[in-house]
Amino acid sequence: MILVSLRADIGIDLGTSSILVYVKGRGVVLKEPSVVAIDQYTNKFLAVGEEARQMLGRTPGNIVAIRPLKDGVISDYEITERMLRYFIKKSVKKLIFKPRIIVCVPSGITDVERRAVVEACQHAGAIKTYIIEEPIAAAIGAGIDITEPDGNMIIDIGGGTTDVAVIALGGIVVNNSIRVAGDDCDEAITKYIRKKYNTMIGERSAENLKINIGCVYPPEIEKYESVKGRNLLTGLPINIEISTSDMLEALNDPIQEITEAIHSVLERTPPELAADIGNKGVIMTGGGALLKGMDKLIKEKTGIEVKIADNPIECVAIGTGKSLEWLKSIEIAKKGREYLEE
């Protein structure tokens, strides 16, 4: 069935590892890995999303599967633009007018990186593009009333970035955005297995290990998972068994950087807001929130109760979509500022 509408308001969580699209009135309609497979000879898209992700590490010479986003920002502008156009068309089949789009970005990106996101969306078919920062979107998606004077602390661990922020009165009071997150955990697992077992495993295998048995806090029960790779000494395929203890050791460095970022935000938080956070606890969102023991580790390091949002993976996309309701007031405020400047 082809959906026809005059105009759609679209919210996009432009993540390093996956892209989620929220359409006003319909909710999250698309969730795909931000991977594109391209024929290098013809420059044609062969696959996008999950189909392209299946090709990672398996493509012949003329086909390359790439991630056009790195560390939460655009690393390949042209591919990102084409990918966005594809996902927008897939989400909203037929439109009479161009859609308004609000895009979620890490709080620590530069003005140049922010401009690149806006321009990519404009060229992908948006009539107007708005930007919202990840911690704000995550807080809205988690059901927090960000307009209240009470302080709320959000920890959003995505694929390319980790955003830690204290929010009050609708804005970010203190924040820290570091380019260490889920992808770095995958890389740490790959390096650990290469060093300890002399075995090279693929990107997808490392991610599966992280999801299935990955942990950052000593587990009550030891779990094991077998993984296939290539022995670096013999050059032959090998099957090895990895334990949760291995994962604990492998993930130590990236997780330590994340906990240090959380600590630095708490150190700079005004006393009144720190008291609010101490009473209400911290909210965790993003795929990294599902890493086993992450909430326990943060509680141990900070002494503050940690709650995982109900739908941590879609939380940012839902918050981005809900903020679409503010578009009218944003436009009125902007026109008011332009009038005053005149």
Query: Model confidence over 113-146: pLDDT tens digits?
Result: 889 999 999 998 888 888 999 999 999 999 998 8
Q: Based on the number of CB atoms within 10 Å of its own CB, is 234 exposed (0-12), middle (13-18) or buried (19 or more)?
A: exposed
CA distance 190 to 156: 23
Partners of 151 in beta bridges: none
Q: Which of 275, 276, 316, 260 is nearest to 135 (CA)?
A: 316
Phi, then psi, of 191 in degrees rounded to 5: -65, -40
Contacts of 342 (CB under 8 A, 6+ apart): none
pLDDT tens for each residue of 166-211? 999 888 999 999 999 999 999 999 999 999 999 999 988 999 999 9
Using 50, 70 and 90 to split pLDDT, how confident is the model at 1? very low
Q: What is the pLDDT of residues 71-82, one digit of tens each?
A: 878 888 889 998
Q: Given pLDDT bands bounded at 50, 70 and 90, which one contains residue 220?
A: confident
Report d(CA 247, CA 26) in Å as an integer: 39
pLDDT above 80: residue 35: yes
Closest CA to 304 of 274, 281, 333, 275: 281
Residue 50 one-letter amino acid: E
What digits encode the pLDDT tens for the residues 283-327? 999 999 999 999 999 999 999 999 999 889 999 999 998 887 765
Task: Give 3-state DSSP helix, strand, coil % of the chain, rounded to 5.
Answer: 40, 30, 30
Q: Which of 7, 13, 12, 8 is nearest to 24 (CA)?
A: 8
CA quadruple 19, 21, 22, 24: dihedral, nearest 10? 150
Q: What is the DSSP string of 40-77?
A: TTTTEEEEETHHHHTTTTT--TTEEEE-SEETTEES-H
Residue 327's nearest CA partner among 130, 110, 96 is 130
Kindly report the average pLDDT of the chain as a whole number: 87
Convert the pLDDT of each residue in 235-260 to its tens digit: 999 999 999 999 999 999 999 999 99
Q: Is the pLDDT of residue 336 over 70?
A: no
